[in-house]
Chains A and B, each alone.
Chain A
Amino acid sequence: MNIETSEFHWGMVIDLDRCTGCGACVTACQAENNIPISEQDGIANGRNLHWIRIERYWEGEFPHVRARFLPMLCQHCDDAPCEPVCPVYASYHNPEGLNGQVYNRCVGTRYCANNCPYAVRVFNFFNPKWPKPLEQQLSPDVTVRSRGVMEKCSFCIQRIRRGKEQASLENRKLLDGEVMPACAQTCPPQAIIFGDLNDPDSRVSKLARSPRRFRLFEDLGTEPSVIYLKGGGHDHPG
């Protein structure tokens, strides 16, 4: 679906050699995007609402054990399997390469979630609750989702908007690195780099050309906009 009518194509590079699995990005995203608190029962029943998760995989047995971390968020697939199956265009592709989610239109078929190979779409099984005054933290830039709708990482679209607005107010082009999603912003080892893949000189584009690059489930043809860089023992950065 490479129908691009915009100068931008947002993308992300996640360097697995830097990611320490610390989880700061998870909480940053939760804070930024008004993600409700999931109680223990909810998580036990598969109703965690985080938009990004750190997957931890074990390898081997003692003493030859390794643990590997894989930050997983919506890959903003260029050929997103979640989009064609949505009967109401609630899951749609925006001209800047984002997989958008229109909460108002979503009727809650959960079809898109089945068809997302990365299993990053989360469903609001109940209405969110914030015991007072926790709700005061909610950001006015992000809709609070009601029960019955699907949601997932938006690449912090509100920040992209804000960045573009700022640039246009100042009558200039958006700078590389000016828009930073909450997860990338907080990541201590700077494992997450976000930017415009259309600009060959952007940091994200340069890193995306690294020999360490790979994308998840490349064979499925989803054309993710999230590019991982292999971790462990690769002595030359991209």
Chain B
Amino acid sequence: MKRRSFLQLSGMSLASSMLAGCRKGNEKLIPFLVPPEDGAIPGIANYYASTCRQCPAGCGVLVRVHEGRAQKVEGNPHHPVNQGKLCARGQAMLQELYHPDRIKQPLKRTGIRGSGQFIPISWDEALKQLAGALAPYQQKEQEGLLLFSAPLRGSLARLTGDFLQHFPKAQHLAWEPLSPEWLQQGLFGNPGIPDYDLGNTQYLLSFGADFLESHLSPVRYGHGFGHMRQERQTVRGRYSYIGPRLSLTAASADRWLPARPGTEWALAFGIIRRLLQEKSFDASALQAAGLSVTNVTELVANFNVQRVAEIADISPTEIRATINEAVSISPALALVGEMTAWQSNGSAAVAAVELLNLMLGNINRPGGLYFTPATDAHISSNYAELTGLIERMQQKKVQLALIYGCNPVFSIPSDSNFSAALANIPQIISFASFLDETSLQADLILPDHSNLESWGDIVPPAGTRQQVIGLIQPVVKPLHNTRAFPDVLLALAKGMGGNLAMQLPHESYLQWLEEDLIKRIPDLFIGDRRQQMDHLLQQGGWFGPELEPISPKALKRPERVVSPEFSGAQEQYPLQLQVYASVNFYDGRSSHLPWLQQLPDPMTTVVWGNWLEINPQTARKLGVNQGDLVEVSSPAGKLTLPAVLYPGLRPEVVACPIGQGHQGLGRYADRRGENPLKLIKETEASKQRLTWGGTRVQVRRLAASSGLVTAGHAEGSYHRDLLGL
């Protein structure tokens, strides 16, 4: 953002505060249209509303700014997604802004790729190079241009789309590991993700959905969870979790059903069978979705308690109790998550749980889930498109790659050969803020602003029943000589001239954003547009009226679920590896923030590293003690990790969080721990969908001590009794 753009707007009066009538107050909510150094009064803090981008959930934040410095990020209490709450990653976004290892100006590679040798260049030069590289692709037939980004939504999706229109053969791949495409391709195929009304349900069943840590919108669900448990006067919602690992989310459950990996769905069938038996299912919803009772009955006919218990390897008593609860407590809500979806049978398993919700009569009712129409532009790609791209890259069909807002070298299993394929691309241009695995391969880096220096909007992908457009506004002046990615696109358009310049004549992304918002937000038509805009910025976005829920149509008939497949021979690789998104680092994008590195992992209390979780019984057999260094090998590779004895894990399963093991990404993340995605063995099936839960491994003890540091005392962690708790 240029100062000029601020000044354009600085004629505006200081907007009134949200805290009504406190003129001499301590703090004010002001839009950043008034630059801090002019609008700020020394010694008095201001709050700016913005939106968190540490994960796609899009929680609203208020940033406390004191004399031009961002001091504290707080949840925006008026934001419908997070209602004033934030997760640890959201809290830590300040450290991204002030990170000592940010890329401070455009860089041009001088050494070999990956060597990390760059020289600083000017923006003019960088833009000239970029424009030069792009120019050929404006021709009709010119193939080979790739934009690789995280899924984009809202204004940025539209701007990128408009920009790429001028490059006829360009491919835009928008993918990130935790993007819920598997959910969108489930039974209903509604592109929007339903809003799960956790807060008002009485019985919650999670099928491998770690909704309190990484699944879709953890803060929103966390808030709902608190409400479900203790906010209502007379009821306390009960909650069961089924999945092979006692995750942070599972730890809060009243009952944990440690199912074999990839067998959680059997419980869904068991419940559906009982619903059918008792005729207590929602027949009208079934009909509305276009499904027949006979079909479903056939499908689940065999799934009595015994069968479910056998498939999942859980005691029949527990299964029976869970089924009883699920059919007798109403409303009962089922969530399905990555642990289930990431298996080879994931797509059918997800559909099974969605069918369960349908049968429970959960559609569009309190304590259930609401389907709302997809409301906004959004660009995202699925795993099959990704594997397709890798093939094209291997065939040297990509000549120029622009990489924005993602780190695919880190977050795609090495077995898929993405890195090798990347090396085939003659020119890689990155918009990264840090020298991570991917930007280290780039030839040119045009560093993006940090979130707290940017303009933008966010349409929460998982979410709310009302329409929400969260706004991102800069809260401080850019620290370094960086530029926002969309501003770079606009500058390019201007520089490249022609049609492109004509269609994208905007001075800045702010201007684009405003014009775009005007098209999308009805409120902006009422009254003084400027004032309205200020108001939205103060508020943190546009929170529209509640949308009319829609009845979902089933895209396909629910199908049989087969057993999950695992790569690697059982004899050689006796254990099953489950990778999961880290509570602290999400998919690894936050590992560079020291607050999060220092934050003990909630379940293992490990700090500054990662680990392999082994059930104590298994560990005993392997002769492994807490903290021992072990070697984990799979058909795809080998890693050396410290062992953590983890009682909440099936004995034949080992688990490892994704997020550490960076080669780059600044001093705090670099060469810390290992990336378990290196162990994932791809199969033919996994080219079609992400199946990261389907690899077998072998574990071998290497040495006694490995420098594992836990915040909690290993032995003391078993002495709750001493607290009199």
Contact = CB atoms under 8 A, between A and B. Distances in A.
Contacts of A186: 74-75, 85-87, 90-91
A136 B229 contact: no
A20 B648 contact: no
Contacts of B648: 58, 62, 65, 67
B723 A216 contact: yes
A155 B95 CA distance: 23
Counting contact residues on chain A (CB < 8 A from B), the size range is: 35 or more
B600 interface: yes
A166 B720 contact: no
Q: Is the interface of B mostly helix, strand, loop or mixed?
A: loop
Interface in B99-130: 99-100
A50 B712 CA distance: 13
Given A20-B248, A133-B479, A134-B99, A188 B223 contact: yes
A67 B251 contact: yes
Interface stretch (B230-238, B377-385, B546-554): B230-238
B603 to A, nearest CB: 7
B248 A22 contact: yes
Contact of B71 (A26, A54, A137): A137
A38 interface: yes
A24 to B, nearest CB: 5
B651 A62 contact: yes
A31 B213 contact: no
Contacts of A70: 723, 725
Q: How large is the interface on B (under 10, 10 to 19, 20 to 34, 35 or more residues)?
A: 35 or more
Interface in B590-616: 594-596, 598-600, 602-603, 605, 607-609, 615-616
Contacts of B26: 162, 165-166
Contacts of A191: 226
A70 B229 CA distance: 17
Contacts of A43: 598, 607-608, 709, 711
Contact of B86 (A24, A63, A133): A24
B603 A67 contact: yes
A22 B608 contact: no
B226 A190 contact: yes
A17 B94 contact: no
B410 interface: no
Interface stretch (B252-260, B352-360, B500-508, B522-530): B252-260
B449 to A, nearest CB: 15
Nearest to A33: B72
B235 A189 contact: no
A139 B609 contact: no
B248 A21 contact: yes
A170 B21 contact: yes
A53 to B, nearest CB: 7
B252 A24 contact: no
Contacts of B64: 139
Contacts of B233: 237
A213 interface: no
Nearest to B233: A237
B296 interface: no
Contacts of A124: none
B516 to A, nearest CB: 31
Nearest to B607: A43
B218 A188 contact: yes
B140 to A, nearest CB: 47
A57 B647 CA distance: 11
Interface in A55-78: 55-63, 65-70
B88 A59 contact: no
Interface string A95-133: 000000000000000000000000000000000000111
Contacts of A196: none
A39 B595 CA distance: 10
B643 interface: no
Contact of B98 (A38, A134, A165): A134
A106 B345 CA distance: 61
Contacts of B74: 182, 185-186
Contact of A185 (B70, B84, B87): B84
Given A54-B600, A67-B246, A189 B88 contact: no
Interface in B42-91: 43, 64, 66-67, 69-75, 82, 84-88, 90-91
Contacts of A88: none
Contacts of A187: 85
B279 interface: no
B607 A40 contact: yes
Given A21-B251, A40-B608, A27 B92 contact: yes
Interface centre among A44, A189, A216 (most CB of B within 10 A): A189
B196 to A, nearest CB: 15
A54 B584 CA distance: 14
Nearest to B73: A31
A188 B602 CA distance: 15
A50 to B, nearest CB: 8
A15 interface: yes
Contact of A236 (B236, B651, B725): B236
Contact of A27 (B66, B100, B221, B595): B595
9 contacts: A21-B603, A22-B602, A23-B88, A43-B608, A43-B711, A56-B605, A68-B725, A188-B221, A189-B222
Given A21-B251, A169-B22, 6 more contacts: A18-B225, A21-B603, A27-B91, A44-B707, A136-B70, A137-B71
The 3 A-B residue pairs with the shortest CB-CB distance in the complex, in nearest-first order: A189-B226, A188-B222, A40-B608
